[in-house]
Amino acid sequence: MPEPIQLGLTGANGRMGRALQALLSDDARFALASKVAHSDDWRAARELDIVIDFSTPEGFDAALGYCESHGVALVSGTTGIDAAQRRRFDAAAAKIPVLYAANFSLGIAVLTRLLRDAASALPHWDLEIIEAHHSRKVDAPSGTALALGRAAAGARRQDFDEVADFARHGHTGARPESAIGFSSIRAGEIVGEHTAFLVGHDERIELTHRAYDNTIFARGALHAAAWLAGKPAGAYSLDNVLAA
């Protein structure tokens, strides 16, 4: 039996943190060495191999700072981070192994591949991405919806920031042909739903993924962390994990 991976968990008291701990209690691959609920807790962190971060943009910064300065691998699923934070994360890949996914479900990873295919095969069809989440979610559109939009824009060789259409209210004018539109629903206890509408003349494709339980993200993050531990410095994605 190999030595267990020494794991640090940040956002430990949150919904994802609790889902991860429930799985970890029965997972011999990992030893839960440090739990971080606030940035100050990093001062007491033990020697770690890897950190899993599902917290807040502030928690993300603190985890990245700790991992970079201590040479620890980082898996993050925190959403709502800005472009500068994402750049710092990618730059850290020169020193440590890092893996970010806006959604750790394997189903979403495959949906992303399907959407890339459909968007590039049907470059002139209108594309709209609709997502639904629980009423406590504070960022919109979801990180997953944005990642799906970026994947589709990439497949169509479009500049995402130019084609993304986030707000429609009042006299909007006609839909620009190349737009990728986003809509968000916030209600009740919805765990996470994403649909990409591809609409052509008199026909439509809908690609939908529904998450029924947060456990799928926690399971995917642990799968990714077990895969990432011991890898050389670099930026990895869930696609790399799926292909392995």
Pick from 21, 31, 39, 165: which binds ligand NAP (CB under 6 A)?
39
Kindly state the DSSP code that residue 56 receives in the 8-state scheme: -
Q: How far is the CB of 170 from ligand NAP (least distance, A)?
A: 29
Output phi, psi for 11, to 5 deg.
Answer: 80, 30
CB 61 within 8 A of CB 54: no
> Segment 64-93, which members bind ligand NAP (CB under 6 A)?
77-80
* Cα distance between residue 181 and residue 174, in whole Å: 12
Shortest approach of ligand NAP to residue 104 CB, angstroms? 4
**Maximum Cα interatomic distance, the chain, rounded to a whole number of Å:** 64
Active site residue 35: no
**What are the two backbone dihedrals, phi and then psi, of residue 178, each rounded to the nearest 5 degrees?**
-90, 5
CB of 105 to ligand NAP, least distance (A): 6
Residue of 11, 141, 149, 181 interacting with ligand NAP (CB under 6 A)? 11
Q: Which is nearer to ligand NAP, 156 or 209 (CB)?
A: 209
Is 13 one of the binding residues for ligand NAP (CB under 6 A)?
yes
Does the annotation count 231 as an active-site position? no
Considering only residues 23, 31, 37, 242, which one is a binding residue for ligand NAP as defined by CB under 6 A? 37
d(CA 168, CA 135): 21
186-205 binders of ligand NAP (CB under 6 A): none
The SS3 call for residue 189 is coil
Nearer to ligand NAP, 14 or 234 (CB): 14
Exactly one of 8, 20, 45, 55 binds ligand NAP (CB under 6 A); that residue is 55
Interface size with ligand NAP, residues (CB under 6 A): 26
Q: Which helix (H) or strand (E) holds 165?
A: strand 164-165
Of 133, 194, 209, 223, the active-site residue reads 133
- Integer Cα distance of 74 and 147 in angstroms: 19
